[in-house]
Every structure is written in C-alpha cells, then in structure tokens.
Amino acid sequence: MAGELTQDQQMIVETARAFAQERLRPNASRWEEEGLDRAVLKELADLGFAGIYVAEEHGGSALTRLDAALIFEELSRGDISTAAFLSIHNMCAWMIDAFGNADQRAQWLPQLTSMEKIASYCLTEPGSGSDAGALRTSAKPDGNAHYVINGSKAFISGAGFSDVYVLMCRTGEDGPKGVSTVLVDDKTPGLSFGKAEDKMGWRAQPTAIVNFEECRVPAENRIGPEGEGFKYAMKGLDGGRLNIAACALGGAQDALDRALGYVKERKQFGKRIADFQNTQFTLADMETELSASRALLHQAARKLDAKAPDATKFCAMAKRFVTDAAFKVADQALQLHGGYGYLADYEVERIVRDLRVHRILEGTNEIMRVIISREMLKA
C-alpha cells in the first residue's frame, strides 16, 4: 500500500495508526462498558479528523475520500466503534459544508471540526429502514420563521450524547421529493430519546430512538431548499459506505494481526498452531481477502474523488465486498484462537460483534446488490 500513496498520505496513515495503537486499542474493551470518551474525540479533532473533508476556512482538513478511507481503516485497528462514530460525525459536517449556505457553514462548522459540538445523522425510522424515501417525520411551517417537527428516528448513533442532529424530515409531498434536511440542536424543547439499545456490537456508542414532539426549529436551520434533503442523504451515503467499509477493513486487519500473533505462540500436539498447513492456508486466504478488499476500497474512493460516473456503483461494490470479507476474516481469526477466541480477554469476539452491523447499515448488502445491478443494467 505504501508504494501507492503520496508522502502526505503516508504521514496521515502513520498519524492515525499511532493514535489508534496508543489511545484507542488499550481502551476499546473498557469503552464497551463506559461509553464514548469525549476527551478522546476532542483529541481526534485536534489531529484534524473531525472535519476530514470540510474546507480549511472553517477548521476542516480538506482531505479526499481516499484520505478518509486510510484514516478510518487505521483508527478501526484500535477501536471500530469509536472510528465508526467519528465517520458519522464527519458525514454530518460534510453535508453542512457541501449544501449549507455561508452563514450556516460559519455558524456550525467551526464547532463541529473542533468537536465542541458532536453531530448525529437522523435518517432511519421505525417504519422505514431500507425504504428511506418513505420516511414520515414531518416538519411543518409555523409562519415563515420556524418549523414544527413531529416524529421519531430509530437506530441513531449518538442519541442523547450528540449536540446537534442532522435530520431528514418531510416538508412536502410523499416520496423522496418531499424530504428536507434540518439541523436540530439538542436543547430544543420537545426533543427526547428512547432507552439505550442493548446491542450486539458498537456497544461503546449510545444508540436509541430520537423523538420529536412539537419541536420548534428556526427555518434558518434548514440546509438548502425544501425538497432537496433526500438527494443530500443519498449523496452522503456514497462516502458513508466507503467509511463503513474502511472501518470493517481495519477491524478485520486487527483481528488478523491478533490471530497471527496467537498461532505463532500457541502449541498443540507438540507444534505451534502456525506450523499446521491448515492454519497456513487459512492465514493466506485471510490476507488475500483483505488485500483484495483494500484494493477495491481505494479504487472506489478514487472514483468518488474524481466524480466518476460509475462512482456510486463502485462505492456499493466496495461496501458489499469489504464488509462481507471483513466479517469472514474476523470470524476466522476467532476460530484460530479456538476456545480463547470466545473470551472477552482476547478481544477478537468484540471485533466479530462490532463488524456484524457493517453488513446492515448505510444500506444493507442486499440493497448494495440492487444498486450495483441497477447501474449495470443502465449501461
């Protein structure tokens, strides 16, 4: 990989890797019990990782999607849950930078890129998961200066923890054309949260339902014109899918690294486990799967950076292939640990649990197949 990267990108990798190994990896298991550490998120912001593709004038790093993939892979080698949460915050900041007006960028972005404020993304609803265009949360005008918001969002990372919620809500007709994007401050009366979900993985992140009951929000908090929100959400998903794939890749690489160390030390029947041909074949397949995943992910990121016409297809391909391969590799790493892999002390089981959701969110891998085939059939 190093030979394909610029000097600046190699420096980005080294910075993210050092932080992951020194600050994330030693604490990942503890954070499953204690939750996200705001101080660590602030440290990530100090490295420029809270506004990765936000313009420099508002405190961003103005990096590329490929740069982001490199960052999230390395951070996930330390803690998948924290890295994935950071990717969501970055998507929110990007949406404001890409589609907001000058006043909105000046107001919100410096607070987000410094992690003075943390952002969550609110699209999914209890009744509309993959069919996001059918969302029902409404924002009705109250005069010309405010919206009144009613509804709820499900599976929201950072619910009750974040300071601002980037909300996709219905301001017009049924379907995608009636969806708008509105920023909701956490101090807004009528905003409340359901109980924290007891999840299989990503346990460091708080996840809950976000409820909006007669939430009165200034109309100036709407990003872009009415009816453009669904387009913004879909544009954000290309990059989001790359980030989720990168996080899966980093987690799987950590699992492989742990398994490699284990089989070199552990002995059975008078031999190191690493000396058995079956182990060697398994390791070879794991390494090959991750190398192929990395190549496809980087290709998709370069296409998105170049605004290539087939970028959406490649982002979907990368998300589908990488997250499936990463979960398989992590599961094989657990198998190589034998019974010890099932114990929390060895941490591979945490990686397996964390990576399972990557095949579901940002569009399930079944939806990725729909997108890929649809783009193929257009040709």
pLDDT digits (tens, 9 = 90+) for 209-225: 999 999 999 999 999 99
Q: Which of 294, 326, 319, 247 is nearest to 85 (CA)?
A: 247
d(CA 140, CA 154): 21
**How does the average pLDDT of the chain come out, rounded?**
95
Please name the residue that has the structure tokens 């990530």: 44
Name the percent of the chain in helix, strand, coil, to the closest 5.
Answer: 60, 15, 25
Identify the band that residue 113 occupies on the pLDDT scale cut at 50, 70 and 90.
very high
Same domain? For 237 and 335 the reply is: yes
d(CA 51, CA 112): 7
**How does pLDDT run across 341-374, given as a tens digit for each residue?**
999 999 999 999 999 999 999 999 999 999 999 9
Residue 61 CB neighbour total at 10 angstroms = 21
Same domain? For 87 and 124 the reply is: no
Which of 81, 113, 145 marks a domain boundary?
A: 113
Q: What pLDDT sits at residue 351?
A: 98
Which domain covers residue 41, as residue numbers?
A: 2-113
Q: What average pLDDT does range 118-127 have in this prediction? A: 91
Segment 114-118 long-range contacts (CB within 8 Å, at least 24 positions apart): 114/42, 114/45, 114/50, 114/59, 115/38, 115/41, 115/42, 115/44, 115/45, 115/50, 115/89, 117/162, 117/163, 117/164, 118/38, 118/41, 118/89, 118/158, 118/161, 118/162, 118/163, 118/164
Residue 216, beta-bridge partner list: 148
Which of 225, 241, 259 marks a domain boundary?
A: 225
Q: What pTM value is reported for the model?
A: 0.94
Identify the band that residue 122 occupies on the pLDDT scale cut at 50, 70 and 90.
very high
Total tally of structural domains belonging to the chain: 3
Residue 199, beta-bridge partner list: none
Q: What pLDDT sits at residue 130?
A: 63
d(CA 326, CA 55): 32
d(CA 154, CA 89): 17
Same domain? For 253 and 346 the reply is: yes
Q: What pLDDT sits at residue 2?
A: 44
What's the CATH number where 65 sits?
A: 1.10.540.10
- Cα torsion angle, 242, 6, 62, 157, sign: positive
3-state secondary structure of 303: helix
Options 125, 214, 362, 375, the catalytic residue: 362
362 has catalytic annotation: yes
**How does pLDDT run across 53-95, given as a tens digit for each residue?**
999 999 999 999 999 999 999 999 999 999 999 999 999 999 9
Q: What pLDDT sits at residue 235?
A: 87
Q: What pLDDT sits at residue 182?
A: 97
- Angle between helical axes of 65-76 and 277-305 (0-180°, round to 10): 150
Same domain? For 249 and 360 the reply is: yes
For residue 214, count CB atoms less than 10 angstroms from its CB and return exposed for 0-12, middle for 13-18, buried for 19 or more. exposed
Identify the band that residue 194 occupies on the pLDDT scale cut at 50, 70 and 90.
very high
Same domain? For 108 and 132 the reply is: no
Same domain? For 211 and 256 the reply is: no
Higher pLDDT, 125 or 303: 303
- Say if residues 194 and 200 touch (Cβ distance below 8 Å): no
3-state secondary structure of 344: helix
Identify the band that residue 3 occupies on the pLDDT scale cut at 50, 70 and 90.
low
Give the N- to C-terminal CA distance of the chain in Å, as an integer.
32
Same domain? For 217 and 135 the reply is: yes
Radius of gyration (C-alpha) of the chain in whole angstroms: 21
- Say if residues 149 and 212 touch (Cβ distance below 8 Å): yes
Same domain? For 252 and 197 the reply is: no
**How does pLDDT run across 264-289, given as a tens digit for each residue?**
999 999 999 999 999 999 999 999 99
Same domain? For 252 and 217 the reply is: no
Which of 201, 225, 249 marks a domain boundary?
A: 225
Q: Token pair of 303, please? A: 């296409």
Q: What's the one-letter identity of residue 223? A: I
d(CA 354, CA 359): 11
